[in-house]
Amino acid sequence: MVQNASEGSITSDSHSSPIQHRPRNYQKFPGAQYILPSDEEEKARLELQHRVLQRAISSRLIIPPLSLQSGDKVLDCGTGSGIWLTDLSKQVPSDVSLFGIDIEPRLFPTSELANMQFSVGTTTQLPTDWSNTFRLVNQRLLIAALSANEWPTVLSEIKRVLIPGGWVQLLEAKRWGTEKGELSVKHRKLLEELFASRNLLIDCSVQLPHLLKEAGFENVHVEEYKLPAGSWAGKDGEETRDNFINVFRGMKTPILNAGGFGYVDSEEGYEEWMKDMSKEWDVMEDTTVDICVFYAQKSA
Query: What's the pLDDT at 8?
Result: 35
Domain residues for 133?
A: 12-297
CA proximity to 224, closest of 276, 264, 265, 171: 171
CA proximity to 197, closest of 33, 81, 14: 33
Residue 7 lies in a domain: no
Residue 5 lies in a domain: no
Residue 115 lies in a domain: yes
CB 127 within 8 A of CB 52: no
How many C-beta atoms lie closer than 10 Å to residue 17's C-beta?
Answer: 12
**Count of domains in the chain?**
1
Q: Render pLDDT for 209-245 as a digit per residue (tens, 0 to 9).
A: 999 999 999 999 999 999 999 999 999 999 999 999 9
Q: Where are the alpha helices (DSSP H) in 57-105?
A: 83-89
Greatest CA separation found in the chain?
A: 61
Residue 6 lies in a domain: no
Question: Left if phi > 0, otherwise alpha if psi is -120 to 50, otherwise beta: which for 27?
Answer: beta
Residue 4 lies in a domain: no
pLDDT at 254 over 90: yes
CATH of the domain at 16: 3.40.50.150
Distance CA 242, CA 172 (A): 18
Average pLDDT over residues 14-42: 82
CB 50 within 8 A of CB 13: no
Residue 75 lies in a domain: yes
Strands 162-177 and 288-297: antiparallel
pLDDT band at 2 (very low <50, low <70, confident <90, very high): very low
* Residue 47 buriedness (CB in 10 A; 0-12 / 13-18 / 19+): middle
Instruction: Output the DSSP codes for 34-74.
Output: --SB-SHHHHHHHHHHHHHHHHHTTT-S--SS----TT-EE
pLDDT band at 34 (very low <50, low <70, confident <90, very high): confident
Residue 3 lies in a domain: no
CB 171 within 8 A of CB 203: no
3-state secondary structure at position 30: coil
Distance CA 136, CA 61 (A): 11
Query: What's the pLDDT at 35?
Result: 82
Residue 39 lies in a domain: yes
Average pLDDT over residues 94-100: 96
